């Protein structure tokens, strides 16, 4: 009976998991740091090849959100060149301030591990963040926008040249729920080989 209950709980959490964006967040409502720690504790349980645990997290909250906003806007302005857009610059300054917490997601490279293995491990860790946030009734989303692909950003998160900045997880309490998602039929994505 207990196993059935656990299966029902995990199935429900997975089905309810959604991306919730900053425009949906409750302004000024702060998630307790203990919950953020639990999200990251669960992320740390993710599977990973040869136990390299390649994920690295930098958590911004309080005045740290302004620091992130200023730093990422400055990097973008200094390095965007002809691709600079004022709207994107303004968004980099504003978006962190709409969040309770922002988690920068880094990946430490290990020379003897295929890169895909470590990318997959970090993605599993982020899924654990998503599922834990869902269980707590917290909104959030993983973004690879902003300064994610700027080499100059890596040093802000103690990442070295071979490491990767894999984006940011923005968190807040949802004021507006995300739309219900109806995935396409799983049957269309499965091939059974029985013999």
pLDDT at 3 over 80: no
CA–CA distance, 52 with 1 (Å, rounded to integer): 36
Structure tokens at 34: 């203990």
Tally of CB atoms within 10 A around 38: 16
Pairing mode, strands 164-172 and 139-143: antiparallel
pLDDT digits (tens, 9 = 90+) for 144-155: 999 999 999 999
Helix orientation angle between 86-94 and 63-79, rounded to the nearest 10 degrees? 160
pTM of the model: 0.95
194: left (phi over 0), alpha (psi -120 to 50) or beta: alpha
pLDDT digits (tens, 9 = 90+) for 14-60: 999 999 999 999 999 999 999 999 999 999 999 999 999 999 999 99
Nearest to 131 by CA among 21, 7, 4, 10: 10
HEC string of 1-39 equals CHHHHHHHHHHHHHHHCCCCCHHHECCCCCCCHHHHHHH
Nearest to 73 by CA among 142, 152, 164, 162: 152
pLDDT digits (tens, 9 = 90+) for 46-98: 999 999 999 999 999 999 999 999 999 999 999 999 999 999 999 999 999 99
What letter does residue 159 receive in the DSSP assignment? -
**HSE (side-chain half, CA atoms, 13 Å) at 147:** 29
What letter does residue 97 receive in the DSSP assignment? G
């Amino acid at each position: 009976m207990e196993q059935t209950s656990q299966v029902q709980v995990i199935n429900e959490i997975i089905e309810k998991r959604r991306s919730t964006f900053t425009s949906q967040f409750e302004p000024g409502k702060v998630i307790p740091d203990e919950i953020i720690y639990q999200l990251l504790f669960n992320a740390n349980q993710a599977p990973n090849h040869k136990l390299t645990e390649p994920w690295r997290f930098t958590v911004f909250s309080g005045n740290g959100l302004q620091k992130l906003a200023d730093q990422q806007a400055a990097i973008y302005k200094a390095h965007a060149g002809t691709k600079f857009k004022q709207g994107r610059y303004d968004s980099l300054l504003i978006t962190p301030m709409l969040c309770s917490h922002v988690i920068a997601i880094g990946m430490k490279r290990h020379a003897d591990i295929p890169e895909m293995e470590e990318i997959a491990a970090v993605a599993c860790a982020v899924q654990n963040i998503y599922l834990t946030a869902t269980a707590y009734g917290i909104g959030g989303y993983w973004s690879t926008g902003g300064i994610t692909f700027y080499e100059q950003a890596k040093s802000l998160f103690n990442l070295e040249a071979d490491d990767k900045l894999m984006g940011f997880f923005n968190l807040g309490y949802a004021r507006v729920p995300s739309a219900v998602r109806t995935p396409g039929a799983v049957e269309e994505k499965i091939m059974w080989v029985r013999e």
